[in-house]
Amino acid sequence: MAMTAPELHLKKSVAQKLNRPITIGRVAHLTKPQPWHTALGRATCQFRNRCSRGCPFGAYFSSLAATIPAARQTNRLTIVHNAIVKEILLDSQGQKAKGVRVIDQNTMEVREFYAKVIFLNAGTIGSTSILMNSKSARFPNGLGNDSDQLGRNLMDHHLSVGARADIEGFEDDYYFGARPNALYIPRFRNWGNDKRGYLRGFGYQGGASRADWSRGQLKRDSALILKQK
């Protein structure tokens, strides 16, 4: 996905002045679908930035758009509905996952399913709680929780922590659509010779685009905040 003109200007300035790279964000949207994508019914992203409502084009990667249709095409897929995974079952030695125990959300019936390979893809909180529920003699504190870190130190995005401004210039530049993506500055702190007093680091996301109808409201809100101060 392309950067806008002010973003390219920022990229150049940040490289020159701060020696930091700026890239386009890393998203899993199709900009050039390949035959194996269209075979699954997926199409090019329409650049309308409405991904949070679900994508009727299957343009961003999701299990609903990509992996489940691919699995269905093998004719060896069985989808079990209303089944809430309670825990992962271990083999008799208590070393290896061999299945899952599920509870039917309507009837409360408990069933077990077995497989050679099990993927746990329930999201940060869901996967963690399932692992913590999966207790055994080998893992009395939850599956894979020898470190006792399961359920601790969960990390989320800080959202809207930063700054915004109007940019002058670039009036003759325009771009196509509403790009469903942002800029990314990977590893801004604790990178190269920049060593701080904490482990690891953080990146930044951001972007520059034309203002829309809400610009008047933003200016009004900013003026109110300044007045209150």
CA distance 181 to 198: 29
Site string for ligand SF4, 180-219 (x = CB under 6 A): x---------------------------------------
**Angle (CA) 164 169 175, round 5°:** 80
Give just the sign of the alpha carbon dihedral 158, 159, 161, 167: positive
Q: Which of 46, 72, 74, 71 shows the shortest CA–CA distance to 177? A: 46
Total site size for ligand SF4, rule CB under 6 A: 13
Question: Collapsing DSSP states into helix, strand and coil, what is residue 38?
Answer: helix
CA distance 19 to 16: 6
Q: Is 49 among the residues that bind ligand SF4 (CB under 6 A)?
A: yes
> Which of 1, 9, 46, 62 is the binder for ligand SF4 (CB under 6 A)?
46
Tokens of 178: 């509403």
60-79 CB burial, b ≥16 within 10 A, e <16: bbeeebbeebeeeeeeeeee
Site string for ligand SF4, 141-180 (x = CB under 6 A): ---------------------------------------x
Least separation in angstroms between CB 181 and ligand SF4:
9
Least separation in angstroms between CB 59 and ligand SF4:
4
Tokens of 80: 């079990």
> Which of 3, 10, 22, 59 is the binder for ligand SF4 (CB under 6 A)?
59
Helix, strand, coil % over all residues of the chain, rounded to 5 = 25, 15, 60
Least separation in angstroms between CB 69 and ligand SF4:
15
Q: Is 33 among the residues that bind ligand SF4 (CB under 6 A)?
A: no
- 28 or 77, CB closer to ligand SF4? 28
- 11 or 42, CB closer to ligand SF4? 42
Q: Is 73 among the residues that bind ligand SF4 (CB under 6 A)?
A: no
Residue 176: in which H helix or E strand, if any?
none
Q: Which residue ranges make up the site for ligand SF4 (CB under 6 A)? A: 29, 45-51, 55, 57, 59-60, 180
